[in-house]
Structures are given as structure tokens and as C-alpha cells.
């Protein structure tokens, strides 16, 4: 892990030092965004250093830590819930990998909470990992992103996406357009909250929305020019984040 962190830090430093490639971008009606290549070189950006709530983009860090544990371990599902979930009340346990799948594809808040409950000192470790990645303007207080105090910047999230792109569990699951998860006496059928997973060659994806955060999305895709990474924060709502990011994809 230490070697990966060092390599990514050097890559990002190199990319920042290079001259940026210029495009004729029309400013988007969103708070901040950036487009970068696979080496972390920023192609274009808007308010990429602005600290903002990140909503369910928080789950990318939650699932990154969870993916480093036993994926087949059965985790207890609580009977009492304070958040909505696709998990039926009758379900008592689920495998960690299935919960990661729900958290990434469906952005299921209960799945993220259960994953975090089963990580020792979960939130502290989320913040520690952020520090290790050089995400100096990022702070988590819970695993779902429902709280507006979970904040970051587009530039910080670029570092998280680059690490997550090296994680085969996160890339496999988050890029799925839909999934069927077996449970006792039934199945949970889910569709990705990012509809572009069904039309683009997506490597990694996570969406988010709360009123304080607006519409958010991080996505990495394969293009004719190589991998491209897109970070979008503060779009007007869940309906505008996809058109906004599609405008970035069309230019880069």
C-alpha cells in the first residue's frame, strides 16, 4: 500500500507540473469539476480546490476500506434502521462483497453503515487513509455522506479515484450497469445510479446527492485517448449531474 501511495503522489505531482491541455469548455452550471488523464494530469478544471459536501461519494472511501477485508464474511444486518435500504427486513446477514455491491451500485446507505460498523475505528481510518493519500481538504464524520460535514474537493477526490482504479473489487462492482444479489428466499435486483455505465466503457463510478452537496459524480472511463477521470461536484440535482458530466466527456 505504501508503494502505491508513493507512486500515485509522484504521478500527481508530475501531472500538475505539466502544461495543461486546453479545450474550449463552456462553463458548467455546477460548483466544481475537473477532467484528468490516467496519470492524474488535469486537462481542465473549475473551482477544483473548493471544499464542498460530497454526499454519497463518501461511500467510495467506505468501500475501499471494506474491500481490504474478507469479502465472504457474513455481516449482521440490524433490525432497527434510520435510513432507507434495498435490503429486506427479513434478511439477517449478508456477505461483505454483496454489501459493497449495494453501496457502490445502488448507493445503499444501510449497506455502507453495516460495512463501516464492521471496520475497526472506521471513520478514523477513513480520515487516516485520506491523509495518507494527500487528501488534505477531505474530512469524514460518517460512512454514507448523508451528513453535510463529509467534505472534499475535486482535486482531493482525484487522488481517491486513482487509488480506487487499482482496486479490482471496486472497479468490477461500481462499473456494473445492473446486478442481482441472492438473499434468503429471493433476490435483490439493482440498477446503477449512474446510467452511463450502460453506454460507456466505465472503469469506476460513484454518484451522490444531497441538498447541501447537489448532484455529484466521480467516473473513470476508457476512451480513444486513454483513460479519463471525471470529478463533478455541486451540480443542481440528480437530473443535471449526468448531462453535465456528458458535456465533459464529449470534450475530453
The predicted-structure confidence for 201-243, as pLDDT tens digits, reads as follows 999 999 999 999 999 999 999 999 999 999 999 998 888 999 9
- What DSSP state is assigned to residue 21? P
Q: Does 9 participate in catalysis according to the annotation?
A: no
Supply the pTM of this predicted model: 0.88
pLDDT given at position 13: 47
Locate cell 461511500: which residue?
Answer: 59
Rounded distance, CA 99 to CA 200, Å? 25
Rounded Cα distance between 111 and 100, Å, is: 7
Of 32, 56, 67, 164, the active-site residue reads: 56
pLDDT of residue 26: 58
Query: What pLDDT shows up at residue 3?
Result: 52
Q: For the chain, how many helices (H) and strands (E)?
A: 8, 11
pLDDT at 10: 43
Residue 124 has pLDDT above 90, yes or no: yes
- Beta-carbon contacts of 33 under 8 Å, excluding residues fewer than 6 positions away, are 45, 46, 47, 48, 154, 230, 231, 232, 233, 244, 245, 248
State the cell numbers at 88: 429486506
**Residue 238: what pLDDT?**
85
* Average of per-residue pLDDT values in the chain: 91
> Which range among 168-177, 179-188, 238-247 has the greatest average pLDDT?
168-177
Set 58, 107, 174, 235: catalytic member: 107
Q: Are strands 151-152 and 178-183 parallel, antiparallel or unpaired?
A: unpaired
**Range with the lowest mean pLDDT among 19-28, 29-38, 132-141?**
19-28
Task: Determine what percent of the chain is predicted with pLDDT higher than 70.
Answer: 89
Q: Binning pLDDT at 50, 70 and 90, where does residue 5 land?
A: low
Residue 59 is a catalytic residue:
yes
Predicted confidence at residue 1, as pLDDT, reads 57
Helix ranges (DSSP H) in 18-57: none
Q: Which of 59, 97, 106, 155 is catalytic?
A: 59
Catalogue all structural domains in the chain, each as residue range(s) with its CATH number: 15-251 (3.40.710.10)
Active site residue 56: yes
Dig out the grid coordinates for 230 from the structure. 471525471
- List phi, psi (to 5°) of 237: -165, -170
Question: At 63, is the pLDDT very low, low, confident or very high (cuts 50, 70, 90)?
Answer: very high
Amino acid at each position: 500500500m505504501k508503494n502505491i501511495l508513493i507512486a500515485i503522489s509522484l504521478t500527481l505531482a508530475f501531472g500538475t507540473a505539466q502544461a495543461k491541455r486546453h479545450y474550449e469548455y463552456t462553463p458548467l452550471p455546477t460548483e466544481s469539476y475537473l477532467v484528468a488523464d490516467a496519470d492524474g494530469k488535469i486537462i481542465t478544471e473549475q473551482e477544483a480546490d473548493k471544499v464542498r459536501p460530497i454526499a454519497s461519494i463518501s461511500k467510495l472511501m467506505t468501500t475501499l476500506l471494506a474491500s481490504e477485508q474478507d469479502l465472504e464474511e457474513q455481516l449482521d444486518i440490524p433490525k432497527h434502521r434510520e435510513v432507507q435500504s434495498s435490503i429486506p427486513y427479513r434478511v439477517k446477514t449478508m456477505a461483505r462483497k454483496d454489501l459493497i455491491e449495494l453501496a457502490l451500485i445502488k448507493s445503499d446507505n444501510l449497506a455502507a453503515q453495516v460495512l463501516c460498523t464492521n471496520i475497526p475505528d472506521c471513520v478514523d481510518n477513513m480520515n487516516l487513509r485520506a491523509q495518507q493519500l494527500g487528501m488534505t481538504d477531505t474530512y469524514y464524520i460518517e460512512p454514507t455522506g448523508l451528513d453535510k460535514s463529509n467534505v472534499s474537493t475535486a482535486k482531493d477526490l482525484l487522488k481517491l479515484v486513482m487509488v480506487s482504479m487499482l482496486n479490482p473489487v471496486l472497479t468490477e462492482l461500481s462499473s456494473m450497469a445492473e446486478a442481482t444479489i441472492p438473499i434468503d428466499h429471493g433476490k435483490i435486483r439493482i440498477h446503477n445510479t449512474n446510467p452511463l455505465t450502460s453506454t460507456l466503457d466505465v472503469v469506476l463510478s460513484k454518484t451522490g446527492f444531497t441538498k447541501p452537496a447537489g448532484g455529484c459524480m466521480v467516473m473513470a472511463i476508457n476512451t480513444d485517448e486513454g483513460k479519463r477521470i471525471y470529478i463533478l461536484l455541486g451540480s443542481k440535482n440528480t437530473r443535471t449531474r449526468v448531462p453535465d458530466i456528458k458535456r465533459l466527456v464529449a470534450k475530453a
